[in-house]
Chain A
Amino acid sequence: GAVVSQHPSWVICKSGTSVKIECRSLDFQATTMFWYRQFPKQSLMLMATSNEGSKATYEQGVEKDKFLINHASLTLSTLTVTSAHPEDSSFYICSARIGGQGNIQYFGAGTRLSVL
């Protein structure tokens, strides 16, 4: 149980275009979803926290207009990288929390974004 699906697993796009990444909880309703960014050989940095039906809470230094997060339902959150540039190339990982299970987060397999 507690499977989080992330799609696509890898995307290549041209500079200036927008890319949408989906994060779905397949067998549970996610009270909260999180979006992380991971640079090569580095740790995960939390970008934002999203709750269903409300605006995402962004971490300091993360541009909310660049990284649009929509949490339309209890099983789906999307991250849109707008007007992507090469410096946005990274590994993006989402996670989801089940209400009542405390602080346990279940992670998706990640999306590798390459901006040319």
Chain B
Amino acid sequence: AQSVTQLDSQVPVFEEAPVELRCNYSSSVSVYLFWYVQYPNQGLQLLLKYLSGSTLVKGINGFEAEFNKSQTSFHLRKPSVHISDTAEYFCAVSVRGTYKYIFGTGTRLKVLA
């Protein structure tokens, strides 16, 4: 069975500072990896995805993530955050050959002025 761990439930960071949101997964088979952002009372918006190829993935809003197979991680990073980045961020995995997502518990990013 697959699982996703987001170690940090909340991450406060000052505006213009860098941030890293951690995601580790467990799977015995190949997976696809995703990061989604959820603003209050809204659905999820795809930030970026790793399907294959380059392990460094660039997404929208200046975010990027790196797939590390040996460490089974897919950490999300942004070099300089804005107040508008305040939201809930979810990491998800999907087993190749199936279409189901398994979500992590989410990390609430709070950007402080």
A binds B: yes
A104 contacts B49, C-beta separation under 8 Å: yes
A109 within 8 A of B: yes
8 A Cβ contacts from B31-45 to A: 32, 34, 36, 41-45
A25 within 8 A of B: no
B44 contacts A97, C-beta separation under 8 Å: no
Chain A contact residues, majority secondary structure: strand
Chain B residues within 8 Å of A6, by CB: 43
For the complex, give the distance between the alpha carbons of A105 and B90 in Å.
Answer: 13
For the complex, give the distance between the alpha carbons of A103 and B95 in Å.
Answer: 9
Interchain nearest-CB distance for A32 vs B (Å): 6
A42 contacts B105, C-beta separation under 8 Å: yes
B83 within 8 A of A: no
B46 contacts A104, C-beta separation under 8 Å: yes
B86 within 8 A of A: no
* Top 9 closest pairs, chain A to chain B, by CB: A103-B94, A107-B43, A107-B44, A109-B43, A43-B103, A43-B105, A103-B32, A110-B43, A44-B103
Footprint of A on B, CB under 8 Å? 32, 34, 36, 41-46, 49, 51, 90, 94, 96, 98-101, 103-106
If A93-B44, A103-B94 are given as contacts, then 15 extra A-B residue pairs at C-beta distance below 8 Å, sorted by A number, are A4-B43, A34-B99, A34-B101, A43-B103, A44-B101, A46-B100, A93-B43, A95-B43, A97-B99, A103-B98, A104-B34, A104-B46, A104-B49, A105-B99, A107-B43
Footprint of B on A, CB under 8 Å? 4, 6, 32, 34, 41-44, 46, 49, 93, 95, 97, 102-110, 112
